[in-house]
Structure 1
């Protein structure tokens, strides 16, 4: 009879897992932007509406920049060609935007073309950083507008302009701000003064999911936001978060928590899409925080937390109806694989978490990539 071993045994490592993680990490750290094809893609996008034929927000400006940022810009024109049937043209202008009446004009549907003209003129006559700082401050309370796509598009456009402020890139930035302003909306909650007593992780744990009676099903994410009227404690729960201290460090902590939220609740193709917005929205806020005054950056930080918390509150009941997926391994070259996959959310999510991994070397971001690829099918397999 063999005697029982009375000493701890070493952990058995998986050679395949170690190799996959090593390859993904190495590829992430080597990823370099390639904007050589970016302006050609923007030229195709300049006269398009922010609304697709199905009524959802047009992700194309964000996708082409994410491809460029991850060194896959050569794929942008082919991606646009595949998606061309879903695009709609810009409607005609109606009347000029009165800058003294901006509060009454944001969220006015049918005014995108007017806002577009206003911001394009601003980009031609004022320093672009000043325009962005002023309007991000004004629009930030509508962070979750169109499922945060106004914030996302603006951040992607800002990064392209930082690479090279060409006229087409400045127009794209103007178009992004116009999309945010024209489709502006806030969460259906009453703001409460920030109490600042819990770190991000602890504060997020206090966010209570909606009851099953009020939880949304699959559909527009904004329909989930609307159900927050049935969460009377949500404003106070959100107010508990402490976001003081170094702004970059706080954004990295929030990105980590949004990644963990994704890993916990992104269990089906639909919930992958929902919780992708928690991660990418935080990444976009961080990008914008780098070029605005500190006070505006902290406002963005709070709104990004609130946005992720809203997704958790609204969609946790739906997510928990499905079993958690088995742990997967990331592909060896995530940026290239995302471009080949072709789904707009996959491309944007991969870019956001690769950027976070390059800053932090936290493997949680590689886990996000792995889970997204394991759960979300490529568009041609839908």
Structure 2
């Protein structure tokens, strides 16, 4: 697949070590999507990324290390019904109810139909849960697009969509058309034009509430293949940017790349009419995270040397941090020099899983 700058993205994953991945997902589905009432369970995303990148032999060992961050599946309140949906949307207390709802839906309808129905409903609220719900959906959809619709993978999609519905959180951000043409500029230029918020204390929800204005970018794009190309360009630019800007907040700035990449990975499963609004939601997420966590100054770029993509994946597994694993997974979608440098930078500045 080509991007708008003529560069080619590395081939998407087309096969998994199915047994290991499904075993890991089954092992995880007895646990909830969060812990401590606010922190995301990253394990389903990380094990999918490891399996996709040839690291399946280390998946269960990694899970053993991560097990202390897992909490039991949450309590149910009452089943979601048509009359209740609007009130239950965005209510984290209803996470189990939403997961049950999508489990029932996926048991009787094709997964693409369920996704197409709910994607436009959920897309405006992709900023809840620090964008983790949409990222988890992107990982789940990638497994299904690989061609094996196993029970574990469909259950994972139900958990992912249920988590998104429970953490659904829209934002209202003014779009400013800047005088020097950011709207049609390369994605890297657009990200450079994002103005950091003035007060950069507090967690993700607090900072998100302070993002009042973002530049317009790619808002006139409607052709599906151009949408795909611009979205891929955005993911690449955000990934490359991490190599020099990741120190602003080594964990949260990962999402400037992984959130739009989740949308990019989902596009092939969606009707074309949903692609353009998906691009705009992904841009808002990436730009907002940039505004919330960008450092005052970049650091010099450090080339990755002669390391191979396979070696980078191995280093990410050895390091173990879930955000390192997920950024590396996104970087390996491109596997160019700046993307590998970004993955190595994440490994360098992030605390390892112990």
TM-score category, normalised to shorter length: 0.7 to 0.9
- Trace 1:247-326 onto structure 2 (pairs within 5 A): 247-267=227-247, 271-316=249-294, 319-320=295-296, 324=299
Q: Choose from 154, 176, 192 the match for 2:160.
A: 176
Equivalent in the alignment of 2:302: 327
Cα displacement (A) at 1:248 = 2.4
Equivalent in the alignment of 1:370: 344
Equivalent in the alignment of 1:356: 334
| Structure 1 vs Structure 2 CA RMSD | 2.6
Q: Choose from 187, 194, 197 the match for 1:207.
A: 194
- Trace 1:38-117 onto structure 2 (pairs within 5 A): 38-53=21-36, 55-117=38-100
Task: Return 5+ residue gaps in structure 2 as ranges.
Answer: 1-9
The structure whose Rg is larger is: 1
Q: Choose from 169, 173, 179 the match for 1:185.
A: 169
Cα displacement (A) at 1:29 = 7.7
Cα displacement (A) at 1:335 = 1.2
Cα displacement (A) at 1:144 = 1.6
Q: 1:377 to 1:166 in 2, by over 3 A?
A: same
Q: 1:58 to 1:298 in 2, by over 3 A?
A: same
Cα displacement (A) at 1:198 = 2.2
Residue 303 of structure 2 contacts residue 338 of structure 2 at CA under 8 Å; is this kept in 1? no
CA distance in 1, matches of 2:175, 2:197: 19
Please state whether the residue corresponding to 2:72 is helix, strand or coil: coil
Cα displacement (A) at 1:110 = 0.8
Cα displacement (A) at 1:241 = 4.6
- Trace 1:224-239 onto structure 2 (pairs within 5 A): 224-228=207-211, 231=212, 234-235=213-214, 237-238=215-216
Please state whether the residue corresponding to 1:379 is helix, strand or coil: coil
Task: Return 5+ residue gaps in structure 1 as ranges.
Answer: 1-27
Residue 240 of structure 2 contacts residue 338 of structure 2 at CA under 8 Å; is this kept in 1? yes
Q: 1:49 to 1:192 in 2, by over 3 A?
A: farther
User: How many residues are paired up?
Assistant: 334
Residue 38 of structure 1 contacts residue 73 of structure 1 at CA under 8 Å; is this kept in 2? yes
Is 1:344 the counterpart of 2:322 in the alignment? yes
Residue 328 of structure 1 contacts residue 374 of structure 1 at CA under 8 Å; is this kept in 2? no
Cα displacement (A) at 1:242 = 4.6
Cα displacement (A) at 1:328 = 4.8
Cα displacement (A) at 1:256 = 2.2
Q: 1:81 to 1:54 in 2, by over 3 A?
A: farther
Q: Deviations 1:229-248 (Å, cap 9, x if unpaired)?
A: xx3xx15x236755444222
Equivalent in the alignment of 1:146: 129
CA distance in 1, matches of 2:116, 2:175: 22
Please state whether the residue corresponding to 2:169 is helix, strand or coil: coil
CA distance in 2, matches of 1:196, 1:378: 37
Cα displacement (A) at 1:136 = 1.4
